[in-house]
Amino acid sequence: MANLPWAEALEALESEVGRLRDAWEAVEFRLLMGSTNPPVTEGAYFEPTVEPLPGDLRVAFDIPLLLQGRMTAIQFLALLQKWTGGQAFSFGGYDFVAPEITGTLSWDKDVPSTHLFNRPLNPLPPTDTEYRFHRLTGGGGTPNTTVRDQINTIAYSMGTTPYSLLEKYMGMGWDGSIKNFSAVVPIPATMLQPLRQADSQVQVCMRYRRPFQTTDFWVRASPEVWRSSLPKVSVLDESPDGAGWYRACATVDVPTDKSDLNVWAGRADSIQLYDWHVLSRIETPATTEATTRTFLASWNRLATRRPSALLSDPTKAATGRGPANVAAAAELLLLNGLAALGYPTFYGPSPFETSGVDIMAFDATTKTAFAISVTVTEAIADKIGKLVMLRKELDVEVGEDWHLSLVVVTIQPRGALVAARLKEANDDNVNVLTGEDLQPLMDESPDLRPFEQALHRHRQFYPSAPSLPGMGSG
């Protein structure tokens, strides 16, 4: 970590962005600007992303002016150069002026994802280990009480706090009390889970984007603790891995009498001793169910677009102003979660257009048949009504050996739903899953337990239903 004055800090950021610019498809930005003319920038947030997102500029709030948008990496470099020289950067009909920050900014290189202040707006694809980031952040200057009061007013009208409001709409933990600048720069490289092989070797693969090459990575392995004298093994045989990613691997000899093996990997230009560490163990063969649960992260890596990227703004989805295919993304997110749980599933999209129910899933362990209806809005009354009308028919069709559970799924948060509709669902024995219940499926390494537990809330309606393994009957 280094504390740098404004111009020097921007030059350090510009240097890293220039070096890695070929890795990214766009740069997300958020600018909070005052109500003066010309506007004065109160807060700025920048985040390069590997998502293939088109250029965009939109107004989130008018007073104070909050802009959300995307630019190219080249445009971001031009902005940094303008701001370093004390000039405004013109973009989309606006003049972006640098926030007047006194004091120094914190320049942190090779920060692990677990040390970030907030989750990235566009997370990198799920991985077995974690990504690292460069981060430049700092605040200061004279407080703008007018802008702060405007933020307070908006937050109060939305039933939240200024900190939570700016965290949601700007991607940064900040309450608007002082001017603030943040840039979070993802390093698109990671180590995949090492694979133990039958011939006393372990294969270690790196996954990365340009400008990285095989010469940028090294691997070390030992059944003992880290030692700098251990040989560094180079990765070789690069091959494309989809969506602009590449994969290269190293094969390391391991002792035959050791079940545990420490595997380390690093980047040639990292300031860390190593960037990734995994304890590899020889395990007993996984059960089929365990395989499907762990395969979800691997499946997500194969996708060029992640469903969670289309569900990041439920409010826009509810008003029809969200990204295209958001309804299909919600259903796919749910289907992948059900598949990972090992539930046989029937799906009725176009052209089938199954009436009143979108998905049927069967949990053989608890003998539960789920009839699921999915929506992206908070209007769940119609979904509940149609499912209830189908209950008798579906109950007969699944047979007396199964407990039928009616489930309505919405990507909206529970707080956005009308309390009376939730009561109706409860009275009709319909389980409602909300955005909070789906959130674990959107994570880089999905934790299926909260999602599975939410699905099985039906047991409050069927006290005699078998318990989920590892859980009580309530």
Q: What is the pLDDT of residues 300-340, one digit of tens each?
A: 767 666 666 666 666 555 555 555 577 888 888 899 999 98
Angle at which helices 6-20 and 73-84 cross, to 10°? 160
Is residue 372 located within the same domain as residue 394?
A: yes
As beta bridge partners, residue 331 has none
> Between residues 211 and 355, which one has the greater pLDDT?
211
- CA distance readout (Å), 164 to 168, 169, 311, 464: 6, 9, 19, 42
Residue 225 falls inside a structural domain: yes
Tell me whether residue 316 is in a domain. yes
Are 318 and 393 in a shared domain? yes
Domain end position, chosen among 255, 283, 311: 283
What's the confidence (pLDDT) of residue 471?
43
Distance CA 11, CA 80 (A): 8
pLDDT in tens, 186-225: 999 999 999 887 768 889 999 999 999 999 999 999 988 8
User: For residues 39 and 95, which has the higher predicted lDDT (pLDDT)?
Assistant: 95
CATH number, domain containing residue 453? 3.40.91.70
Query: Quick one: 344 and 429 in the same domain?
Result: yes
Expressed in angstroms, the distance from the first to the final Cα of the chain is 49
Same domain (yes/no): 93, 168: yes
Of 405, 462, 403, 410, which Cα lies nearest the Cα of 432?
410
What are the pLDDT digits (tens) for 236-278? 999 999 889 999 999 998 876 677 889 999 999 999 999 999 9
Distance (Å, rounded) from C-alpha 468 to C-alpha 474?
A: 10
* One domain, residues 171 and 252: no
CA distances from 267 to 187, 222, 263, 273, 276 (A): 10, 18, 14, 10, 9
With beta carbons less than 8 A apart as the criterion, state whether 287 and 274 touch: no
The yes-or-no verdict on residue 134 having pLDDT over 90 is yes
pLDDT of residue 474: 32
- Residue 353, pLDDT > 90, answer no
Q: How many domains does the chain have?
A: 3
pLDDT value for 39:
80
- Give me the pLDDT at residue 128, please: 80
For residue 85, being part of any structural domain is answered with yes
Parent domain of 226 = 189-283
pLDDT value at residue 467: 46
Strands 2-5 and 104-112: antiparallel
Residue 187's closest CA among 104, 271, 106?
271
Q: What is the CATH number of the domain that holds 223?
A: 2.60.40.10
263 shares its domain with 329: no
CA atoms of 373 and 363, how far apart (whole Å): 17
Is the domain of 151 the same as that of 41? yes
End of a domain among 148, 170, 187? 187
Has residue 7 been placed in a domain? yes
150 CA to centre of own chain = 30
Separation CA 232–CA 215 (nearest Å)? 12
Angle at Cα 222 formed by Cα 216 and Cα 228, nearest 5°?
60
Which amino acid is present at 165? Answer: L
Q: Do 374 and 396 share a domain, yes or no?
A: yes
Assess whether 258 and 378 both reside in one domain: no
**pLDDT tens-digit profile of 358-382?**
999 999 888 899 999 999 888 899 9
3-state secondary structure of 188: coil
Asked whether the beta carbons of 243 and 253 are under 8 A apart, the reply is no
Cα 391 from Cα 396, distance rounded (Å): 9
Sign of the torsion formed by the C-alpha atoms of 202, 208, 213 and 218: negative
* Distance of alpha carbon 224 from alpha carbon 220, whole angstroms: 11
Reply yes or no on whether the pLDDT at 18 is more than 90: yes
Q: Is the peptide bond before 64 cis (omega within 30 degrees of 0)?
A: yes
**All residues at 6 or more sequence positions from 307 whose CB lies less than 8 Å from its CB, including other chains:** 329, 330, 332, 333, 336, 442
The pair of structure tokens assigned to 78 is: 């031009």
Judgement on whether residues 441 and 343 belong to the same structural domain of the protein: yes
Laid out side by side, the sheet with 233-234 consists of: 233-234, 217-222, 260-267, 276-281
> Is there a single domain that holds both residue 325 and residue 364?
yes
| Domain annotation covers residue 102 | yes
Is pLDDT at 288 greater than 70 in this prediction? Answer: no
What is the arithmetic mean of pLDDT over 57-66?
A: 93
